[in-house]
Amino acid sequence: MSATAPARLANLWDDAKAAGMTEPERLVYRSNLLGSDKRVTNYGGGNTSSKIMQKEPPPGDDVRGLEGSGGDVGTIKLDGFATLYQQKLEGLKQLYRGVAFEDEMVGYLPHATFNLNPRAASIDTPLHAYVPRKFVDHMHPDAIIAIAASADSKALTQEIFGDEIGWLPWKKPGFELGLWLGKFCAENPDAKGVVLESHGLFTWGDTPKACYEQTIATINEAIAWFEGKTSGKPAFGGEAVAALPAAERRAIAARLMPIIRGLISGDRKKLGHFDDSPAVLEFVSSRDLRPLAALGTSCPDHFLRTKIRPLVVEFNPANPDVDALAATLEPAIAAYREDYAAYYARCRHDDSPAIRDANAVVYLIPGVGMITFALDKATARISGEFYVNAINVMRGASAVSTYRGLDEQEAFDIEYWLLEEAKLQRMPKPKSLAGHIAFVTGGAGGIGRATAARLLREGACVVIADIDETALGAARDELAIAFGKDFVRPVKLDVTSEEQVAAAYREMAVEFGGVDILVSNAGISSSAPIEDTPLSMWDRNMDILAKGYFLVSREAFRFFKQQKIGGNVVFIASKNGLAASPNAAAYCTAKAAEIHLARCLALEGAEHQIRVNTVNPDAVLRGSKIWTGEWREQRAAAYNMQPDELEEHYRKRSMLKRSVFPEDIAEAVYFLASDMSAKSTGNIINVDAGNAQSFTR
């Protein structure tokens, strides 16, 4: 099914490893093995169960319990499984009032909970419960869904699997489908599984290993059948346009993503993801791109993540006029919104939830690739992965039959399902910087790293830029472990290089979609009496602390104005920008230039909702790279003391008699970068524990 993956799924079951596990642990093991390959199931898709004997809480009788999973089977742990009494689930059949009332059955599931487990049961729980087998897998393999999404799905299932794997027509997940599965098993006692039209695969076994191996074998049988049927056939009607070289593809994505992001970030900002993998390029460059894309996806998991259909951006890679392409985005996005609103109006019911965000999630560009946008980076990436699953399904189905997307009304009834709406309403409130993208220069130093961590803690995605590649790698690893690798990117950067600054912003655009916050923090320090200050020292201070701040700000403004959703700049200047210091003329002058540059930018940015403010630290020694070299010795010499006496000297010198740490600066940056300071621009916050010389008025 996939042009890049190995032909067959490997059997990863390890008898020695499984032998020492309890039955619940084997359920986790089986689930994680299945979820380790996206050809078996997509992220967050599918579920597994085991009907096993568990010790009842007091008085201590043995009972049969069902473990049904939710979440991502590839990473799920034992606490991710719901536990329910099988006999109570059987008893729910007596309460069922029919298809029109099946949603009410979800409310009964908590009454079947075993051992007060707080984990909510999946909507698929009845599907597992009413299959009369001890171990059950429900997966969404591309190869199986390609069969399930074919116009002659039932006939293909019979051709490939005979009577071993059955077939059931489309039915929305829920209690009724669970009853259908139970009836199928009763009527087909020798069957080992069933294909659900436009949905996925159920398989089962009498042991965890047998169940796992049946799942893998069934998928491999489908893969082998497709290989035999499609060998030598061009996918999607063959190539219509040639894909552009990789560098050109990324350059076009970097140009388009901030524009798209600005057009679709209304009440909440969006984050982007770019994919130009071979599977994506094959599809977006094909003859059948437009007719297949218009049909939408077939599997509920797919379209819940990707919407009813993608937006195909009209572009001719043989004549790549990117300026003309950029000009078409606004009307194309407006047309998509109108089409989505019409879909909602056609399909809505009296009790349907209000229309949600009408913008596309998936943007397909011929010869270039796929861009996806969502409210957070992980969801944008995962939405792209889901659409790759859909591409694989369309490739298989259209090669052996006619691909059929899910009926529009059925798709709407899933998307605007009241149970789905209830789940959305239970989502936690977004963090204050969710959806925001921050660019932090000097990101590997003490203040930069603390600032990145503070912004990440509030939900921002952060690009840390630094000239020190070793320190940059360490900072990236530390932040990725703490906040997740989706949310942080490193970029090696000399802020004095116009070309490197532009390239860094382009990289940020491809990785996240644009920029909202610039924290200009790259710094150096030097100390010498004026008569001993060489021109090279003067120029170096001016290059990094003045020109560097100018270059990163200029590029930020270009992106802010392109996005048209405002922006935020925070300069990390210094107390020395306001208060002169002995033997530091180059440094103090450059820092003063930063402060005045910020004032100028605040004037220019206001009409575009771009705020520019400054934080003035003083004597932040801990974690600072500039205090680890000659600067510490030079400042100590200026005050006639030993280097290790400096921190105490600065503490005592302050009015509040307190030391200043990187986290203190980061807190001020967060205040200025957040909506807490939404009505402030052109301001200075001194974080110096009090210094009368640096009072701004």
pLDDT tens digits for range 156-167: 999 999 999 999
Which pLDDT tens digit goes with each residue over 239-256? 999 999 999 999 999 999
| Average pLDDT over every residue of 179-184 | 98
Which pLDDT tens digit goes with each residue over 285-303? 999 999 999 998 888 877 7
Q: Is residue 646 part of a domain?
A: no
Q: What is the average pLDDT value for the chain, to the nearest integer?
A: 92
Same domain, 214 and 282: no
Tokens of 644: 């290790």
Domain C-terminal end among 399, 425, 451: 425
- Cα–Cα distances (Å) from 624 to 398, 525, 570, 663, 686, in that order, read 59, 11, 19, 12, 18
Name the pLDDT band for 690 (thresholds 50, 70, 90): confident
- Cα–Cα distances (Å) from 515 to 190, 311, 403, 669, 680, in that order, read 58, 23, 39, 16, 20
CB-CB neighbours of 427 under 10 Å: 8
Instruction: Classify 691 as helix, strand or coil.
Output: coil
Task: Tell whether the model's pLDDT for residue 2 goes beyond 60.
Answer: no
* pLDDT at residue 403, rounded to an integer: 96
Same domain, 220 and 284: no
Q: Is residue 639 part of a domain?
A: no
Same domain, 251 and 346: yes
* pLDDT at residue 409, rounded to an integer: 94
CATH code for the domain of 383:
3.40.225.10
Q: Is residue 183 part of a domain?
A: yes
Active-site option among 85, 340, 587, 650: 587
Kindly report which listed range (14-23, 67-76, 290-299) carries the lowest average pLDDT score: 67-76
Task: Tell whether the model's pLDDT for residue 539 goes beyond 70.
Answer: yes
Tokens of 262: 């600005």
* pLDDT at residue 72, rounded to an integer: 86
Same domain, 34 and 174: yes
Closest CA to 297 of 381, 361, 346, 355: 361
| Average pLDDT over every residue of 15-26 | 95
Place of tokens 């909970």: 113
- Cα–Cα distances (Å) from 234 to 230, 316, 395, in that order, read 8, 21, 10
Same domain, 279 and 414: yes
Task: Tell whether the model's pLDDT for residue 627 goes beyond 70.
Answer: no
Place of tokens 């093995």: 33
Q: How far apart are CA 51 and CA 211, in angstroms?
A: 12
Task: Tell whether the model's pLDDT for residue 635 goes beyond 70.
Answer: no
Name the pLDDT band for 643 (thresholds 50, 70, 90): confident
Same domain, 203 and 290: no
Dihedral sign for Cα atoms in the order 29, 31, 37, 43: negative
Same domain, 506 and 602: yes
* pLDDT at residue 554, rounded to an integer: 98
Same domain, 293 and 414: yes
Same domain, 421 and 490: no
Tokens of 326: 């950029």
Same domain, 135 and 216: yes
Q: Which residue has the higher pLDDT, 565 or 639?
A: 565
Same domain, 594 and 474: yes
Q: Is residue 2 part of a domain?
A: no
Backbone φ and ψ of 308, nearest 5°: -60, -35
| Average pLDDT over every residue of 267-293 | 97
* pLDDT at residue 623, rounded to an integer: 59
Q: Is residue 443 part of a domain?
A: yes
CB-CB neighbours of 228 under 10 Å: 8
Q: Is residue 631 part of a domain?
A: no
CATH code for the domain of 582:
3.40.50.720
| Average pLDDT over every residue of 329-354 | 96
pTM of the predicted structure, to 2 decimals: 0.92
CB 149 within 8 A of CB 198: yes
Place of tokens 């790549």: 320
Could you give the number of structural domains in the chain?
A: 3
Name the pLDDT band for 632 (thresholds 50, 70, 90): low
Same domain, 218 and 304: no
Domain C-terminal end among 364, 398, 425: 425
What totals of helices (H) and strands (E) does the chain contain, helices first? 25, 18
- Its domain, for residue 537, covers 437-618+660-689
Name the pLDDT band for 66 (thresholds 50, 70, 90): low
| Average pLDDT over every residue of 586-604 | 96
* pLDDT at residue 65, rounded to an integer: 55
Active site residue 587: yes
Task: Tell whether the model's pLDDT for residue 639 goes beyond 80.
Answer: no
**Strand stretches in 609-659, DSSP E:** 610-617
pLDDT above 70 as % of the chain:
95
* pLDDT at residue 421, rounded to an integer: 80
Q: Is residue 545 part of a domain?
A: yes
| Average pLDDT over every residue of 469-487 | 96
Q: Is residue 643 part of a domain?
A: no
Which pLDDT tens digit goes with each residue over 32-45? 999 999 899 888 78
* pLDDT at residue 64, rounded to an integer: 52
Q: Which long-range contacts (CB under 8 A, 24 or more apart) does 578-583 make?
A: 578/616, 578/684, 578/686, 578/693, 578/694, 578/695, 578/696, 579/691, 579/693, 579/694, 580/693, 581/638, 582/638, 583/527, 583/528, 583/529, 583/634, 583/638
Name the pLDDT band for 694 (thresholds 50, 70, 90): confident
Q: How far apart are CA 228 and CA 581, in angstroms?
A: 79
Task: Tell whether the model's pLDDT for residue 573 goes beyond 90.
Answer: yes
Domain C-terminal end among 190, 206, 230: 230
